[in-house]
């Protein structure tokens, strides 16, 4: 015969019995550990051409965002690169300065290997290094064109492909970011081969985005406008020689006539956008080239 114990009897069981039952239970052996969030984990970034200008601003911004940063530039700028790394360390982040010419694949491979060995797995590659030259189309030499593409196109390719292989090996996804320009959308006169190189960066970014998607690697580019850097000082000076304008007048004219917001950009305008592209907030973006020009080009 089955016996049923009324529910009321159980509800009214003495608290002493409940205490005895708890005491006879085996102690829990499960330990719970705090798992760090993505934001709390160490993240690393390589920023090429970061001894000065936009690259320097990007390196500082990523450090403030919590990245350990590999500062890169050519040997001529090594002391400045080391100064940037030292300042990042003073911010409480880890940083190293590594010399490499991005136009040389072997040097980029050494750059990535050194960064991984010193800072840890690579999360973000910012292929920022680039050069500019002001010269009329019919005056361009084969060497002019080759040098422009060696740095601005092959340099970005070397950074993208080397970093992507490292990220795939890590099996943790990642972000590839490249420096384009407003001239990747609308070429400027006397900047033809520079414009062509940045169009190539834009196209290569889209191609890499398609092929890297299966590896959870996003690939985007940023396109600055007229920025108050040494590069644009050179452009201003060289354009002035062609047009007879005084130093500084060309940028002033471009600023007043072309920029909707009415001011020349500063490197921090660009680094803020790169910060977004390097963050989890842009995880659903890939293959895009984001223009930061104050309203010259409207996409």
Catalytic residue set: 194
Q: Measure the CA–CA gap between 188 and 202, rounded to whole angstroms.
A: 16
Counts for the chain of helices (H) and strands (E), in that order: 11, 7
Calculate the dihedral angle through the C-alpha atoms of 16, 19, 24, 28, rounding to the nearest 10 degrees.
170
In the chain, what is the straight-line distance between the N-terminal and C-terminal CA atoms, in Å?
83
Q: Are 95 and 63 in contact (CB under 8 A)?
A: yes
Burial 81-110 (b: 16+ CB within 10 A, else e): bbbbbeebeeeebbbbbbbbbbbeeebbbe
Q: Measure the CA–CA gap between 178 and 206, rounded to whole angstroms.
A: 11
Q: DSSP assignment of 70-130, as one string?
A: EEEE-GGGHHHHHHHHHHHHHTT--EEEEE--TTSHHHHHHHHHHHHHHH-S--EEEE---
Parallel/antiparallel/unpaired status of strands 95-99 and 67-73: parallel
């Amino acid at each position: 015969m089955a016996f049923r114990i009324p529910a009321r009897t159980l509800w009214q069981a003495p608290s002493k019995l409940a205490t005895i039952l708890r005491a006879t239970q085996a102690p829990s052996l499960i330990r719970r550990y705090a798992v760090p969030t993505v934001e709390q984990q160490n993240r690393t970034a390589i920023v090429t051409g970061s001894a000065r200008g936009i690259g320097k601003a990007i390196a500082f911004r990523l450090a403030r965002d919590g990245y350990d940063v590999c500062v890169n530039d050519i040997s001529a700028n090594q002391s400045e690169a080391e100064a940037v790394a030292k300042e990042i360390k003073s911010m409480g982040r880890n940083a190293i300065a590594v010399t490499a010419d991005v136009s040389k694949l072997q040097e980029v491979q050494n750059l990535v290997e050194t960064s991984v060995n010193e800072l840890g797995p690579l999360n973000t590659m910012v292929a920022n290094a680039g050069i500019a030259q002001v010269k009329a189309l019919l005056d361009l030499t084969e060497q002019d064109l080759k040098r422009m593409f060696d740095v601005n196109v092959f340099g970005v390719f070397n950074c993208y492909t080397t970093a992507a292989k490292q990220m795939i090996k890590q099996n943790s996804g990642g972000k590839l970011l490249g420096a384009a320009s407003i001239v990747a959308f609308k070429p400027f006169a006397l900047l033809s081969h520079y414009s062509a190189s940045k169009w190539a960066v834009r196209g290569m970014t889209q191609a890499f985005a398609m092929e890297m998607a299966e590896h959870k690697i996003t690939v985007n580019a940023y396109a600055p406008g007229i920025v108050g850097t040494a590069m644009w000082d050179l452009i201003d000076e060289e354009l002035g020689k062609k047009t007879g304008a005084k130093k500084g007048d060309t940028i002033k004219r471009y600023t007043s006539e072309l920029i909707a917001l009415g001011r020349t950009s500063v490197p921090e305008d660009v680094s803020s956008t790169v910060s977004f592209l390097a963050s989890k907030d842009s995880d659903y973006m890939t293959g895009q080239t984001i223009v930061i020009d104050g309203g010259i080009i409207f996409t």
